[in-house]
Amino acid sequence: MRQYASSIIFLVVVALVGYEAFEWTVNRVYVPEGKSLQLRYKGPLVFTWLAKKAKIGKFADESKSEMGVLEQLRGPGRHFYCPIWWERNLVPDLVVQTGEIAYLNSMLGEEGTDRKGQFLVPGDIGQTHEKGTLRRILGPGRYRINPYAYQATLVKTEVTGKTQLKHSGWVRIPAGYVGVQTYLTDDPNAQPKPRQAGIQDDVLPPGLYALNPKERQIDIVSIGFNAKEISTEKQKDENGRIVVDESGEGLPILDTGISFPSSDGFKIHMDFSVVWGVLPDQCPDMIRRFGNLEAVEQKIIVPQSESICRNNGSRMGAVELLVGDTRQKFQEDVDKAFQKVLKEKNLTLLYGLVRHIYIPKDVREPIQKGYIADELTLTREQETKTAKTEANLREAEQKVLLEAAKIIEETKKLVANVKATGQQTAEQMQADTERKVAAVDRQAAEIDAQRVVTLGEADSMAKKLQQQSRAELFGLAVKAFGEPSAYTQWEFAEGLPENIDLKMIYAGAGTLWTDLKGVVPTLPLPVRSGGK
């Protein structure tokens, strides 16, 4: 039994080691950074005909062990799937760089149905149920997308058209421009309101936009004003210099600029400038009607400039186009007519300006000579006025010099008066100061004398009070002892030293000297020289 058990254990160990070796060599799949693992389940090894297959156009259901591609991709790292049952494919991540967008084409789901003008597939990645291009786009970033279900297309800035440029993808609208939107399909879920296919009435302000090329296209339109000049060409000589007549007027080339016959039959040439533009709210209508600004200039601005100037100028004579009042009226009529035309086209006119009118020499010279004579008369009048003004100026200059001298003298007088007044004030202040100092010194002397008298009186009074106190003290002491002799003896006794030795000796009448014999040895005797 032990041999069988050992054999079984050995076989189990060998099987486990073999399984681990197979698992780490054959089944192991390493997914590096930036890639994902796509799996397709092949079914059982032998009885594949018994396995349930996923429906066409759909992912396999992993929970039901359906055969087919799995929806969920495996991320970077180690994974263990046997190649016998699984088809393993490494799929790179979708990387959308800055300045790019990606739009996706769904390859799974039902065929696109009619959604009333919508041909884009709604929904996000993994949530779509129809085939076709997704409305949603992907901006810059890294995405893990199953290529079995979605095919991605990277787009930078896509521009279509030759004369009318349509922008999509990564769109940049610079300052001074707006974007006119053209929807290629309806969008019922757009905010703040649903969109219908076609040019929209609202515009995009300057900025960066990521737009689906299958959904929207943008016309980038310059807003503000543009200038268009229609000028008459001049005749030039072989050296390239403009040919002029005696009055210095350039000779125009026939039928250049704006040319028309006047009412009296003269050929007129004219230079004309138009300052026009479109405002942001006018841009969508301009795109609908004309396509772009160049088309507006070619179809409206230039033809209408020529037509309006010709129509108004042909009703006037050559002289009327030259002189002031009638020429001003011509300018106003042209500007008013231009304003009306551009307003009907939903465009804005700032100026329609007649710059120069070339009048034939035969008409221009007599009028110019008359104007020159008038100008000469005015010049002489102005010269006379100038001479008078200059004389007045010289007189005024002399008056200014005189007044300046007066002011200088007056200033000197004022300075002298101010100095004298200041000196007088200073001396008066000094005298007042000395007087006040003397008064203060006198008051100090009086106070000092009063102090001496007061101190003397105080000292005398103190001595007097002290003597009175002593007399009163003596009187009280005498009164206390009863008689003066007793007080005198007390004073004598108080004045004796504390260490004096007193002895009482009784002596009768006439016996003091005899009684002193016993006292004498006790008295200190003077020490004589020689020891005697």
Tokens read off for 262: 């006047």
Q: What is the DSSP string of 245-309?
A: -TTSPBPBPTT-SEEEE-TTS-EEEEEEEEEEEE-GGGHHHHHHHTSSHHHHIIIIIHHHHHHHH
Per-residue buried b or exposed e for 143-175, using 16+ beta carbons within 10 Å of the residue's own CB: ebbbbbbbeeeebeeeeeeeeeebbbbbbebee
* Stretch(es) of the chain classified as CATH 3.30.479.30: 225-359
Burial of 219 (0-12, 13-18, 19+ CB in 10 A): buried
Tokens read off for 222: 């310059």
Burial of 84 (0-12, 13-18, 19+ CB in 10 A): exposed
Per-residue buried b or exposed e for 426-456, using 16+ beta carbons within 10 Å of the residue's own CB: eeeeeeeeeeeeeeeeeeeeeeeeeeeeeee
pLDDT at 420: 86
**Count helices and strands in the chain by DSSP H and E runs:** 8, 20
User: For the chain, how far is it from start to end, CA to CA, in angstroms?
Assistant: 155
Q: How many Cβ atoms from other residues are within 10 Å of residue 345's Cβ?
A: 19
Do residues 145 and 94 make contact, with C-beta atoms less than 8 angstroms apart?
Answer: yes
pLDDT at 375: 65
Q: What span, in angstroms and rounded, lies between the C-alpha atoms of 482 and 476? A: 10
pLDDT tens per residue, the chain (532 residues)? Answer: 666 677 777 677 777 777 677 788 888 999 999 999 999 988 776 565 556 776 777 888 888 878 889 989 999 999 999 888 889 999 999 999 999 999 999 988 877 655 555 678 888 888 888 888 999 999 999 999 999 999 999 999 989 888 889 999 999 999 999 999 999 988 888 888 888 999 999 999 999 999 999 999 999 999 989 999 998 888 887 787 877 765 666 677 777 888 888 888 888 888 999 999 999 999 999 999 999 999 999 999 999 999 999 999 898 888 888 777 888 898 999 999 999 999 999 999 998 888 888 877 777 666 666 566 666 677 777 878 888 888 888 888 888 888 888 888 888 888 888 888 888 888 888 888 888 888 888 888 888 888 888 888 888 888 888 888 777 777 777 777 777 777 777 777 776 776 766 565 555 555 555 655 555 554 454 555 444 3
Name the 3-class secondary structure at 410: helix
**Whether domain 225-359 has CATH 1.10.150.130:** no
Q: What span, in angstroms and rounded, lies between the C-alpha atoms of 26 and 22? A: 5
Q: How many Cβ atoms from other residues are within 10 Å of residue 105's Cβ?
A: 15
Q: What length is written for the chain?
A: 532
